[in-house]
Amino acid sequence: MAAKGLRFAHLGDVHLGHRFAYLPREKRRVRQREVRETFTRMLEEISRQAVELVLVAGDLFEHEAADKALVQTLQDRLGKVGVPVVVAAGNHDPLVSDSPYLAEGWPANVHVLRGAGWQVVDLPELDASVVGLSHQAPDDPGHGLEGVPETSRAHRIVLAHATLDDLYSSSPSLPATLQDLERLRADYLALGHYHNFHPIHDSEGRLCGCYPGTPEPVGFDERGQHGFVVGRLREGDVHLDFVPLAQRSYLQAEVNVSGCESLQDILERAEAAMRADDGQHLWELVLTGEVDTDLNVETDWLAHELQDRAFFVKVRSDLVPAYNLFEMKKRPGVVSYFIAHMENKLSAAQSAAERQKIQRAIVVGLDALTKGELKRR
């Protein structure tokens, strides 16, 4: 007899209590409230979706922000979901000695993976087993993929706050390769840690899991849609539907300001780049191009002037002052020697980031040598 299918919700990286330290105080509070509101709407939508299982892949909250009120809210709302909820702790909500996950009051339908090492939550009513791993500390490298228990249910789900090497090279959390994960023989890989939605395919191209991403984005590298995932398992096949929920988006635009002669000119180009916004989103504007060496581009002033056009704006400069290196090298003395030396370094650079760093150093050096001043570039 064929196994009954399984309908589930997969969420992660909610980050309740996130600090939003880069925002002004009032807007910080607004975003913290919006993260809570999106979490509530997500659970309401999960109830409407009539799923049979909820998988939480770590970083549900920020440990330092988990006061009694937040924990009580979590317990109440997860209890009202009415189906099994399996929770793996991540690096932001690890199982340290005072973890709320170790406290009493969690409802019977919420299964927190509280032990060290790989654990199994057996769900015979769903003919499913969830094999999971919780972080024991913020910098816990994990127990690797050794000693993962075998299961006999029709549906085998692996739940972890983990890092696929080819996706997330910085701040790794239980680093693993796709080949490592394939050896777990999971019907579905429910992962967390990567903040953008990303489906995972096995070596033969079949969908086998995903990172659902943050329901409400918390940083400028989290562009695109955000929400959670509703999935179905049936006879070895995985089907996923992404459910968008986020109240705001993080947007980025490159603004080429070559030819601008004043800050006002640059401001007008920046405003043009933001015209499509309805004033609700968070922007990072990256200034590019070449400007006159005497034009002091004040990014803080530009950001202040643009604040009324969006929820929040930050401005970053990748500008290159328009020094004529070819002509300057013709002059004898330390300036020509400096340019030649730095151009040698530039030609030996191994990456775009290294080249950009050297180009900035050339500009700062020429400012000092020709004008006797150091400008923030």
| pLDDT, tens digit only, all 377 positions of the chain | 456 899 999 999 999 999 999 999 999 999 999 999 999 999 999 999 999 999 999 999 999 999 999 999 999 999 999 999 999 999 999 999 999 999 999 999 999 999 888 999 999 999 999 999 999 988 876 556 677 889 999 999 999 998 887 665 555 677 778 888 888 889 999 999 999 999 999 989 999 999 999 999 999 999 999 999 999 999 889 999 999 999 999 999 999 999 999 999 999 999 999 987 788 999 999 999 888 877 888 999 999 999 999 999 999 998 877 777 887 888 888 989 998 998 999 999 999 889 888 888 888 888 888 877 766 65
Residue that is written with structure tokens 């049936």 in the block: 234
* HSE-up (13 A, CA, CB side) for residue 211: 21
pLDDT at residue number 256: 95
pLDDT of residue 169: 52
Q: CA 261 to CA 273: how far, in whole Å?
A: 18
DSSP of 13-56: ---BT---TTS-HHHHHHHHHHHHHHHHHHHHHHHHTT-SEEEE
Distance of alpha carbon 193 from alpha carbon 211, whole angstroms: 8
- Ordered by start, the domain boundaries in the chain are 6-244, 250-371
164: tokens are 């696929």
The runs of H, that is alpha helices, within 146-262 are 178-182
**Residue 304 structure tokens:** 């202040």
Tokens encoding 202: 């096995």
CATH of 6-244, one of 3.10.20.740, 3.40.50.1970, 3.60.21.10, 3.40.1160.10: 3.60.21.10
- Distances, alpha carbon 301 to alpha carbons 34, 88, 285, in Å: 28, 44, 13
Q: What is the distance of C-alpha 291 from the center of its chain?
A: 33
Q: Rounded CA gap, 202 and 351, in Å?
A: 31
Q: Which H helix or E strand runs over 275?
A: none
**Model-level pTM?**
0.86
H-type helices in the chain, by residue range?
Answer: 25-48, 68-79, 178-182, 263-273, 299-306, 325-328, 334-348, 352-371
Q: DSSP code of 307?
A: G
pLDDT score recorded for residue 213: 97
The two three-digit tokens of residue 127, written as one number: 């003919």
Cβ neighbours for 304, distance < 8 A, ≥ 6 positions apart? none
Say which amino acid occupies 72.
Q
Give the separation between CA 53 and CA 126, rounded to whole angstroms: 9
Buried b / exposed e across 70-83, counting CB within 10 Å, b at 16+? Answer: bbeebbeebeebeb
Residue 224's identity, in one-letter code, is: G
Q: What is the pLDDT of residue 182?
A: 85
Yes or no: say if 313 and 220 are a contact pair by the CB < 8 Å rule.
no
